[in-house]
Structures are given as structure tokens and as C-alpha cells.
Amino acid sequence: MQNTYINRELSLLEFHKRVLAQAEDRDIPLLERVRFLCISCTNLDEFFEIRVSGLKQRMEIGAPAQGPENVPAQEIMDKLRVGISAMVERQYRLLNDELLPQLADAGVRFLSSSEWSKKQKSWLDKYFTEQVVPVLTPLTFDPARPFPRVLNKSLNFIVRLHGKDAFGRRRHRGMVQAPRSLPRVIQLPENISKSGEQTFVFLSSLIRVNVERLFPGLDVDGCYQFRVTRNSNLYVDDEEVSDLVHALEGQLAASRYGAAVRIEISHQCPNDLREFLLDHFNLTEDDAYMVDGPVNLNRMVTVCDIDGHPELLYPPFTPGLPSELSGGGSIFAILDKKNVLLHHPYQSFAPVIDFVGTAAADPDVLAIKQTLYRTGPDSPIVDHLVTAALSGKEVTVVIELMARFDEAANIALANRLQEAGAHVVYGLIGFKTHAKMTLVVRRKQGKLVRYMHLGTGNYHHGTASVYTDYGYLSSSRRLGEDVHQLFLQLTSLTQAKEMTRMLASPFSLFDALLEKIRRETEHAKSGKTARLIAKVNALNEPQLITALYEASQAGVQVDLILRGICSLRPGIKGVSENIRVRSIVGRFLEHSRVYYFLNDGKEEFYCSSADLMDRNMFRRNESCFEIRQKKMKDQIRHDLELFLADNLQAWQLNADGSYTRLVPGNDTPVSAQQTFLETLALPKLVQD
């Protein structure tokens, strides 16, 4: 019998392959293809740091098969290694055979050492002496000087040596560690580059060529770059920890030197040195990836935003504004009359920043409450919260410290807000606070009015320009009461009263979604037209998948728009024939979460911070809010149908877990993201 579930790790790897396919797409501007290549490498880094490291730990302790697919960890790992090896080969073949030659043709040239002119070599020699040598620490080994610790994902070189050192002892191996303070891509001055060209050199090439200067008196017989990826999972024992911040700070320091899970080595490295590295890091041949190029491809992303080549980039655009905001005026005066739905990045994130900024400056605002998961450095929203706290307003911020890879930034953010006088509440251990909510309490004509922003994405002004999300601004009394209840629950950990406009995890969201899926199933069984659509980042919750299978068997048309992980298998005869699953991968990262239920003509629309994953349903604090205004429901319905019509950036999931990219054929080409750009955003005015 065919397993009706797709393994989570294998499904996630399929997503990473779809991102790499963007880099291979010749219809995409050249520097954007380079950017997608870098993203695919960053994705693989995180995949090894979190998912592969978790699998290896399960294998080491002999853990039984997990998940509804019930596949042993070793079997999953074997399949992953085959897929990852093929993906890495694709990455470097694409870089060497297509991207670098085409960049050179376009006037963006990466020079190998054999291509350096006399002037360039002279400039690079000086650069190496003045900028690189002072921060390098070449090392050799002996029993008293063991192999140094290697930082996670750092650039390193293993060096073969001959001869005696200054103390008369023979040396066979050395090592050079490249500090992270050094740029991995070096741009050469215009006056030593060909006319009209921008010329770059990889730091790895510069160090390799000059490595003999780092070991005077010894003969260098080979220098080979390598990079180690380590387990970066953070483990905090909810029963033992007494100070979450202190525990996290210790974990962050330790994670930089976690157990090695992958090593990338230059394909020119001899077998004996490769075996030496594998033995030292306690890795096997299966954990080694021999690469034909720099081991840190993602550092090439710095080149993607160079000036002078607009034709190699996506056309710029100016985010638009919904009609409700286009006339200007106070955001509170607007929300007193109507609600506002924003569709980022096609529509500006500025109104969200303005909402918090106006609240911080308004003397009639008494309190601001906000959840923060990821904000990024130099966040204007955090600046406004600090201003509000310093001015004496009651500011309460629920900060999730366990936001993966943002833990250190969030600790610093929490300290800054506390110093300003804000009340800072950390997310509950074991239940990440992933909800996206802001609540403003303002005095208006002697009464207190609640204004709120609810979203599907983070309060990060940087990612708001590349992530697709919905944001909802309102002063609805009932919705405000629900948001107030959720904040009380997050700060006091008491039970919230029954809510009328919102659903929340880990309490009501799962049961409500399950009930709504089953309601569509009953409609279908009674002969009514039944349909549901979900647009989320991931789906792996077994009970929801089972309910969707039952809905399909009853005749419900199920459309799932899933960016990444999908553990459901569509198209299985007698099980999931009425389920279609597609993934949209394009210029922007699809991030919004939307649930639609036909409900016998009484349509229901919900936007949420939650994906359809077990962690979002049961181990996170999530918010989900209903959209009730006809105009907004029509907009979201139109958006969903546009995603389902996309045949330029859509991939269809097959029953075997693979994806097929859709092509227009004889149909009219449709790109949802491009359509949104054309209808919601403003054309960018290019200035001389």
C-alpha cells in the first residue's frame, strides 16, 4: 500500500530545489539568478544546521521511525544525500558554465588568479599585505598545538607543508582561518579594470595564491579551502531553566561549535588531506561535498546590488497604497471610519510603521502592546516603541527569544526596550509566540478606543519588501476585545474569554479548522458544492491531512497553495483525487497564510500567522483573524484564484513527492506576482 504521507525533510529539500531552479531560469535577470543561487546555498546551510543535524542525532541514539510516514531516519538520510549531492553539483555547474561567463559578458567579471594583470596583481599584493595579513593567524599542529576549533560556516584552508620550522621541527600540515571581518568578495578599482567592467576577486583565491607568505621558511605544497557546517539547534530544558536569557546566551555561544554535520572541501584537495579533515571532524565520506568553486557561494550576494547594471536586475517598483490611505490624514481618523487591508510588498509597509509611530507621538494614546518575533537591525518600529516608553506611555512588548537565528538580536532588542521603561515579556518556553499583533489604546472624546494591526508576517521592514503578506488595520470593537484578551493571555498566562472574531493556537485554532474542513465534507456528502482553499507555507499536521483526505473522498474540491513543506500526497486514487497542491516560487517569498471555506455559499475568509503544522497548532501562540468586509473578501478571493491560475511560477506536487513546473502551453500566460505588481504597485520613477 502506498504511504499517504511525504516525509517533511524530503519535502523541504524539494522546495530548495525549486529555489535553485529560479537560478537556472534564463528568463530571470542575470544578477537575480545569482541571488537565487545564493539563497539556495543559504537554504542548504540552514537545512544541514537544523534538519540534517536532527536526523543524525536520531540515528546516533537509534530512535525509532517518527512521523505519520513511519520511515526510519537512516532511509531518509540516504535519500537526502542523493538529492543534496545532485543539487550541489547543479549549483556549481550553473555557476561555472553559465553565470560567471554570462556575468563576464555583461561587464561583471570574477577573475581567477591566472587572469590577473600585472597592475591587478600589484594592487592585490598590497591589499593582501595591508588588509588581510594583519588579521590572519596561520597555524601548524603538533601534540602541544592541536587542530584549532573551527567556527560554524567559516572559511578555512588546510595547507600541506614541507621543511622544518624555526625550532627545527618538521611540519607537514598547517591551517589558515579567514576571519569573518574580511569580505569574501573583493572589488578591484576601476583604473585597473577593463573599461566598462566591474572586476571582482574571491578572498579564497587571494589567500591561496599568497599562502606561502604566511609560512616563511616552509615549503607549501598545496592549499585547499574547506568549510564546516555544525548543528545549530538550540536546546533549552523547560523544566530546568531558571533564566531564559542567560540560558539562551550560553546556547548561542555553544552553537557556534556544535557537532559537525557537513564539510565542503575544494575538489582539488588530495585524498589524504580530505581523510584527515573527515577524521578530525568525526565525519564520513557521505558528509563531504567536493566543490568546484568557492565553498561559501552565498557570500556572492554582495555583488547582486552593485550599481550600474539595472538591466541585470528586476525592474524596481514603488509600493502602492490602498484607496483608504491614499488621501492622507491621521491613521486613527481613517480607522475610525473604515478598516484597511494591505497586501505586501505590492502595497507599502509604511502605514504599519506609521501606525506605531503615530501612536508613539499621540498624546491621547495611553498604551501600546505588540508582539515581536523578527524585526531586523535598526527597526523603525522598535525606535517608535522606545520613544513611546520614554514619553511615559504604557508599552508592553511580547518578544519571542527563541526565533531561530534571531535569538541574539532579540535579546539585544529586549534589553533596549527594558532600558527605555517598556514592559518586556518573553515568549513562554515550549510555546513560541509567533502571533503578529499590535494593539493601541487611545482616548477619544472621553472614551477609550482600541486600534489594532494584525498580520500574517513579521514586523520587519526589510523582509516586508520581499515577503508577501497581508496586514489588517482596524478599530473594530469586537476584534479589539479579542486582541485585548490574547495579550492578557500572553502576559498573565490566564485563560482567555471566548472570542468572536479570532482563533488562537494552541487553544481554538486547530479545532476550528478541523471542524470547518469536516463541515465542507458534510456539505459534499449531502450533494452540495463544497470547496476549501488554503495558502500557507507548510502542511504536515496528520489529523488535518486525514481530514483533507476524507474531504476529498466526499467530493470536496481542495486547493492547497503551499510554498514549502507538504506531507500530503495529492492524486492518490480513492484517497486524494480531488486535492490539488501547488507551490509558487518567484521574485517574492510567498509568506501569507489564508484559509477559505465555501460553506454552502456563506463564504468564510481567515488570515493567520499560523501554518498547517503540528508546531503551529499545538506548540506556538498564533493568531488567526476573520475577514468580514465584502470588499476585502472579494480581494482575497481574487488573489487566491489568481494563484491557482498561475502557469509561469507555479509547480504542481505529484503523488510521488516530486514537483512539475507548469507551463502555459496554449493557455494565456499568468503570473500572480507580476499581476499584483501591475495592479497594486506603482511604477518606479527612474531619475537621471
By annotation, the residues acting in catalysis are 434
Separation in Å, CA 31 to CA 81, 190, 422, 628, 642: 29, 20, 43, 42, 28
CA distance 312 to 209: 31
Residue 244: name the closest of 119, 110, 514, 430 by CA.
430
DSSP per residue, 654-676: PTTS-EEE---TTSPP--HHHHH
Looking at residue 496, the DSSP 8-state letter turns out to be P
- Which regions of 74-189 does DSSP assign to beta strands (E)? 108-110, 139-140, 155-162, 173-178, 185-187
- Contact (CB, 8 A) for 359 and 370: no
Cell numbers 582539488: residue: 268
| 506 prior amide bond cis, ω within 30 | yes
Residue 92: name the closest of 358, 241, 293, 346 by CA.
293
Angle at 514 between CA 484 and CA 558, to 5 degrees: 115
Q: Is 287 left (phi over 0), alpha (psi -120 to 50) or beta?
A: alpha
Q: Collapse the DSSP code of 218 into the 3-class scheme (helix H, G, I; strand E, B; otherwise coil) and give the result.
A: coil
Residue 294: name the closest of 105, 116, 48, 37 by CA.
37
CA distance 47 to 229: 10
- Contact (CB, 8 A) for 483 and 439: yes
Separation in Å, CA 356 to CA 327, 332, 346, 351, 439: 19, 11, 21, 9, 9
- Residue type at 432 in one-letter notation: K
With 0-12 CB in 10 A as exposed, 13-18 as middle and 19+ as buried, what is 170? exposed
- Residue type at 184 in one-letter notation: R
Give the distance between the most distant pair of CA atoms in the chain.
91
Cell numbers 478606543: residue: 449
Q: Collapse the DSSP code of 384 into the 3-class scheme (helix H, G, I; strand E, B; otherwise coil) and give the result.
A: helix
Q: Collapse the DSSP code of 2 into the 3-class scheme (helix H, G, I; strand E, B; otherwise coil) and give the result.
A: coil
Dihedral sign from CA coordinates of 497, 501, 504, 509 = positive
Q: Collapse the DSSP code of 596 into the 3-class scheme (helix H, G, I; strand E, B; otherwise coil) and give the result.
A: strand
Separation in Å, CA 82 to CA 77, 86, 88, 291, 594: 9, 6, 10, 15, 35
Question: DSSP H helical segments within 607-654, as ranges?
Answer: 614-618, 630-645
Cα-Cα end-to-end distance for the chain: 65
CA distance 436 to 491: 15
